[in-house]
Amino acid sequence: MNSRRTCTAAAAVTASVLLLAGCGDSGELRSAGPTSTAVGPARLWPTLPPASAAADNYGSGHTEVVKGITAKGDDIHRVNPVEVVRAQAAAASASPNPSPSPTNVVGLDDCGTEASTKCPVLKAYYRDLTGDGKDELVVGIRLPKGQLAVRCYKFEDHKLTQIMGTSDAVVSVEIAGRDVILRAVADLPGYEYRTAWSWDAHQRAMLPTRDEILRTGPPTTSTPTPTPTPTPEPNPTTSPPKPKSPTTTPSAPTR
């Protein structure tokens, strides 16, 4: 029994040696070098008192009930997006308090029953953004000066509620999973802002959970392309040199 274990162990060692010997072959894994030592965060100004108020109003967590809009069975697909925008614009103009939603929507009169390129309300999209198994309504609204407003709606207690509202110089809008991702023009040339809005069950609203600035332009420096050395062209007016006649070796006299 011991001899079998010894033979098995020897075979395993031999196989390991063979495997290690082949690690340097082309296409195999190679070491990337030593890794840097992890350094924990250092807190700066630990005695600084906390702020008592936010620096600005980003509109996070704000919700708004759209009055006068209902749908049978709270089916969001039965809601007319144009009528929703019109109801909000009418309520904002009649209210003495300014609404955080953009109210400078121009051209709503051009939105009829048929599709119109002049209508500022774009095609609506439906996605489950809250994870409750029901679709939410995502509306895009063209605003003056190339701005785009993006709003999301859902039914809460049989009331149509806006759960997200923002506007910016938007480059594109995407939905990844249950996140609404907006790419917008940045103040720095060659960069863009990217903000991901996600549903927050505590606020019952979409919040900007990730906000970042990313490089999108070409690199600032590039490797110069080497200029090939030109090959001299033959001069057509110059005749090529004549080849020399071969040297004749005299033959030996015949006896």
| Residue 112 pLDDT level (bands cut at 50, 70, 90) | confident
Fold of 64-215: Lipocalin (2.40.128)
| 67 closest CA partner among 1, 155, 160, 136 | 160
Structure tokens at 222: 């590039």
Say how far apart CA 144 and CA 105 lie, in whole Å: 8
Confidence of residue 35 (pLDDT cuts 50, 70, 90): confident
Q: Which position has the token pair 């080849």? A: 243
Q: Spell out the residues 6+ positions from residue 213 whose beta carbon is closer than 8 angstroms to its own.
A: 186, 188, 191, 192, 193, 194
Mean pLDDT calculated for residue range 38-46: 87
Total-model pTM: 0.67
Q: Flag whether pLDDT at 225 surpasses 50.
A: yes
| Per-residue confidence (pLDDT) for residue 63, from 0 to 100 | 92
The answer to whether 92 touches 103, Cβ cutoff 8 Å, is yes
Q: What are the residues whose beta carbons fall under 8 Å from the beta carbon of 119, sequence distance 6 or more?
A: 82, 107, 108, 110, 111, 112
Q: Is the pLDDT of residue 201 over 90?
A: yes
- In this predicted structure, the answer to whether residue 233 has a pLDDT above a threshold of 70 is no
- Mean of per-residue pLDDT scores for the chain: 80
> Between 53 and 232, where is the model more confident?
53
CA geometry: angle at 197 spanning 194 and 201, to 5°? 160
Nearest to 169 by CA among 138, 144, 196: 144
- CA max distance for the chain: 137
Cα separation, 139 vs 108, whole angstroms: 14
Using the predicted structure, report yes or no on whether residue 73 has a pLDDT greater than 90: yes
Q: Are 111 and 82 in contact (CB under 8 A)?
A: yes
34 pLDDT exceeds 70? yes
pLDDT tops 50 at residue 17: no
117-162 pLDDT, tens digit per residue, is: 889 999 999 999 999 999 999 999 999 999 999 999 999 999 999 9
